Amino acid sequence: MKDEQHIVTHFKNMKQQPVVLQIKDLYKSFGNNHVLNGFNMILHKGENLVIMGKSGSGKSVMIKCLVGLMEADKGIITVMGNDITTLNQESLDILRADIGFLFQGSALYDSMTVRENLEFPLRRHTKKFDKDIDTEKLVVEALGNVGLADAIDLMPSELSGGMKRRVALARTLILKPKIILYDEPTSGLDPITAKEIIILMKDIQTKYNTSSLIITHDVDCARVISDRMILLIDGIDYAVGTYKELSASDDPKIKAFFKH
User: Based on CB atoms, which residue is closest to Mg ion, 60 or 186?
Assistant: 60
Nearest to 15 by CA among 251, 183, 234, 242: 242
Q: Is there binding between residue 188 and ligand ADP (CB under 6 A)?
A: no
The verdict on 55 binding ligand ADP (CB under 6 A) reads yes
Give the 3-state secondary structure of residue 10: helix
Is residue 53 part of the contact set for ligand ADP (CB under 6 A)?
A: yes
- Closest by CA position to 238, among listed 17, 54, 48, 31: 54
As measured in angstroms, the least distance from the Cβ of 21 to ligand ADP is 18
Which one among 21, 23, 26, 35 touches ligand ADP, defined by CB under 6 A? 35
Of the pair 18, 56, the CB lying nearest Mg ion is at 56
Distance of closest approach, residue 107 Cβ to ligand ADP, in angstroms? 15
d(CA 246, CA 195): 21
- Per-residue DSSP letters for 51-115? EE--TTSSHHHHHHHHHTSS--SEEEEEETTEEGGG--HHHHHHHHHTEEEE-TT----TTS-HH
- Is 12 a binding residue for ligand ADP by CB under 6 A? The answer is no
Binding of ligand ADP by 61 (CB under 6 A): yes
User: Could you give the CA distance from residue 199 to residue 204 in angstroms, rounded to a whole number?
Assistant: 9
The span of 57-65, 107-115, 163-171, 185-193 binding ligand ADP (CB under 6 A) equals: 57-65
Residues lying near Mg ion in the complex (CB under 5 A): 59-60
Q: Does 33 engage in binding with ligand ADP (CB under 6 A)? A: yes
Residues in contact with ligand ADP by the rule CB under 6 A: 30, 33, 35, 53, 55-61
